[in-house]
Amino acid sequence: MTPQRPVDVQAFLDKHPFSRYQWLIFGLTFLVVLMDGFDTAAIGYIAPSLLKEWGVSKPALVPVLSAALFGLAFGALAAGPLADALGRKRVLVGAVGLFAVACFLSSFAGTLQQLTVLRFVTGLGLGAAMPNAVTLMSEFAPARRRATLTNLMFCGFPLGAAFGGFLAAWMIPQFGWRSVLELGGAAPMVLALVMAAVLPESVRHLVARGAAPERIRAVLARIAPHGADAPAYTSGEARPAVTGAQGVALVLSPAYVVGSVMLWVAYFMGLVIFYALINWMPLLFKDAGLEPATATRITALFPLGGCGAVLFGFLMDRFNGNRVVAAGFLLTALFVYAIGQAVGSVGALVLVVFLAGIFMNTAQSSLPALAAAYYPTEGRATGVSWMLGFGRFGGIAGTALLSELNARRFGLGEIFAVVAVPGLAAAAALLVKQWVRPERRAEPGAVGGIAAH
């Protein structure tokens, strides 16, 4: 009798149809990202109510608007190395539980200082949750569909942010601004309990950490019972691992450091645009003469456009991902600039805000899939989370940038012209990444669907 050979878990995932169990994993990670988007954007939607109820000035809101972003950055930077060491599931469930509790407690804040502290803690959980959701989903996806599925999952973020805007426009007049934070805390509490019960650990991570074959077999058997039984398991990589390196050491190794920095720059610049606009557009449009509810609804169209990430995922699975996403950022710059030229017409404003949102959020939502494809398993969680972590400082910079432009009394056209520039910088960073380490389509079975020339 011929002895059984070890099973390559990625080849196993590529060989079998996408199962109900993988769709369950997709659904849970999608909900994590959806709630992340809702809770991240919530503070911008309740900002006008805070100004009115607490009688504070716009500059006084900057610490509250920025607090969660600092938490997001530090949460992401810490969570990646932890997930590469301890596992994706453990860190993900804990992160969702943390931001759920902190967001719910934020609804009881009585001062700006209390709200600032609680938003920081909320950010810690949000920052840790997002990269681990992306990493876990990418490691359960077949290589030929990885970018498509990861981008589809990441559509939850702009949908959550947009849904929060429409919901806030209805809830705040009915129940007050605190109700938005109560909902943003209660829903992920339930999700964390469900994930703790049913979410599996990444089989690629289990193989990389030398887990017992029985643990790996139990997960693979839920995907396809036949063919899961083997004496041992391996995990093929399109990206070569650095000998003896994992986590931070791999991400910053000479083979990966330039690409890592370019990913950080691109994500940073994208979030300069996103947070500058999502936090300040309701106030800018209100100052331009629009009714507060109208300003909020138009702003909510901006994150809604991120659903276009599915198309980019399809293109990334078939063409050069760096160039596809760079093109998205170039179009972002064009339409962000156009917002400043369209403020005089509500119809034109609705159109250009939506188009800017399509390209900005599509390009931004595609970066985690690009990062997940760039790193091997030993450093994937760290690579994705450090991109998200360093990028979050772009959100802080974007919020502060708009505050400074307002203080200097820039006109609306000038403000949106300035905010368009980071889109050009993000595109340039991805073209540098492609130039330094060219990528092409890989053979079937390779992680991320790309490989170095």
What are 282-305's pLDDT values in tens digits? Answer: 777 766 666 666 777 777 777 666
**Residue 1 belongs to a domain:** no
pLDDT above 50: residue 2: no
311 vs 22, residue with greater confidence = 22
- Mean pLDDT along residues 20-25: 92
Locate all alpha helices (DSSP H) within 209-256, ordered by sequence. 213-223, 248-251
pLDDT digits over 202-242, tens only? Answer: 888 888 777 788 888 888 888 887 766 777 777 765 555 55
Q: How far is CA 343 from CA 71, 298, 339, in A?
A: 33, 11, 7
Number of domains in the chain: 1
- In a domain, residue 413? The reply is yes
Hey, what are 46's tokens? 């309740």
In this predicted structure, what is the pLDDT of residue 365? 80
* Cβ–Cβ under 8 Å, residues 204 and 197: no
CATH of the domain at 292: 1.20.1250.20
**What tens digit of pLDDT does each residue of 104-123 get?**
998 888 888 888 899 899 98
Asked whether residue 280 carries a pLDDT value surpassing 70, the answer given is yes
Residue 290 lies in a domain: yes
The reply to whether 2 falls in a domain is no
Q: Which pLDDT value is given to residue 304?
A: 66
| Residue 24 lies inside a defined structural domain of this protein | yes
The DSSP secondary structure of 150-207, one letter per residue, reads HHHHHTHHHHHHHHHHHHHHHHHHHH-THHHHHHHHHHHHHHHHHHHHHPPPPHHHHH
Q: Is 450 helix (H, G, I), strand (E, B) or coil?
A: strand
State the pLDDT at residue 39: 79
Query: By three-state DSSP, how is residue 248 classified?
Result: helix
Average pLDDT over residues 369-385: 81
Q: Which domain holds residue 340?
A: 7-452
Q: What is the CA radius of gyration of the chain?
A: 22
Question: What is the per-residue pLDDT for 240?
Answer: 54
Closest CA to 445 of 145, 133, 94, 41: 145
Residue 446 clears pLDDT 50, i.e. is over it: no
| 293 occurs within a structural domain | yes
Average pLDDT, the chain: 80
Cβ atoms of 375 and 384 closer than 8 Å: yes
CB neighbour burial string for 146-179, b if at least 16 within 10 angstroms, e if fewer: bbbbbbbbbbbbbbbbbbbbebbbebbeeeebbb
In-domain check, residue 160: yes
Instruction: Please tell me which of 110-114, 275-279, 325-329, 348-352 the model is most confident about, judged by mean pLDDT.
Output: 325-329
